[in-house]
Amino acid sequence: MPIVLRNSTLLIFLIFSIFPLSLKSDKIFKSNQKVPALYIFGDSLVDSGNNAVLAGLKPRLPYGIDFYQRKPTGRATNGKTVVDFFALQLGLPLVPAYLTMSESEKRKITTGLNYASGGSGILPSSHNCNSVKTEYPCLPLDTQIYLYEDFVQRYLSNMFKNKADFDKYQSRAIFFVSTGINDQSNNLTKQMSADKFDDYLLGQLAIRLKRLYSLGARKFLVNNLPPRECFPASQNGRYKESCPTSAAAKKRYNIVFPKMLKKLQSQLPGSVFSQSDYFKFLVEFKVKAMNYGIRDALHACCPKKQHYHGTESCLANSTYCENRDTHLFFDMFHPSQITNNFYTKKCFNESSICTPLNLMQLAQA
């Protein structure tokens, strides 16, 4: 005579006895996510709040004026950064700043963290951290990588059932690195020629990318150096060179940069490196700004043009432009949200900026 289970509680008990659940999931990432995680390392272009925590400062408007709920977060622009748009394109939540996370949050998050810190650089000796210019601390690239290593050992690796699952997760995640401009800008001692310094800097970046690889990173998207001469800050004679009008006007760092990445990929089994030609994007975007609805590609939105002479910072009491979407730059060093959006669209869908793989192809690699 067949047994009929009349008690639903007993039925559930039997089912889970046969197919026990684990608190650690076998799934590497959700179906709507193109990758399981996005990890960020770099400077103020991609900092999402680490420096605000370090300095003990409350972020203030007009930074963040076009962010969700007009909320300033420590991002050095009026809204989203490039990595915010990257996260959205990849089906991920916005990547939180590591220093804003509580212990309990660190034990749960698997979709990525942002270790970037404004003013930082590749070299511990050439960044802006605790310099006379900034007066605030920041996290050099070495420290950012150490914090990631600590997170992996103390939290992330324990969220997976076994090492194979964890290794698969890391191999599918994307590691975005955007750094070096502060090293270039602060090479003031001139102890070596510009070309020799570029070669040295690239060698030091390669060492740190290898370090991330040793910690499990496999997919890398790495920015080259933007054209600092095109920043609004250059109006005060800060740099001797004028803003280039052609992407061909690259200096040694950006010329050798893709070769360095290609060499790393040949040396590191299972790795995939793609270059983000941020130099080319900004130069061409500035030349063709009107085609994108950008009416002012020279001045910062904050402070407003009539109050701006190339040296002023964007402060809480600064006047700013009414329409940020018509400005290439939000302040004297950082692009506006609209510029960040155009850049990430090109990097995600096209092959002219992010090569040899665009972001979508890198996610699928």
Among candidate residues 43, 44, 178, 271, the one labeled active-site is 44
334 counts as catalytic: yes
How many CB atoms within 10 Å of residue 305?
Answer: 14
* Longest distance between any two alpha carbons in the chain, whole Å: 94
CA-wise closest residue to 245 among 229, 261, 232, 256: 229
**201-218 burial: b if 16+ Cβ within 10 Å, else e:** bbebbbebbebbbeebbb
* Strand ranges inside the chain, DSSP E: 38-42, 174-178, 219-223, 272-276, 296-300, 327-329, 354-355
Pairing of strands 174-178, 219-223: parallel
Q: Exactly one of 43, 84, 325, 331 is catalytic; which is it?
A: 331
**Distance between CA atoms of 331 and 40, rounded to whole angstroms?**
22
Q: In terms of residues, how long is the chain?
A: 365
Sheet holding 272-276, edge to edge: 38-42, 174-178, 219-223, 272-276, 354-355
331 is catalytic: yes
**Residue 44 burial (10 A CB sphere; 0-12, 13-18, 19+):** buried
Q: What is the C-alpha to C-alpha distance for residues 70 and 225, in angstroms, rounded to an integer?
A: 30
Angle between helices 194-214 and 252-267 (to 10 degrees): 30
Give the separation between CA 328 and CA 301, rounded to whole angstroms: 8
What is the DSSP annotation of 245-263? SSTT---HHHHHHHHHHHH
127, 299, 327, 334: the catalytic one is 334
Give CA–CA dist 157/327, Å, rounded: 43
* Residue 146: closest CA among 185, 115, 182: 115
Which active-site residues does the annotation give?
Answer: 44, 331, 334
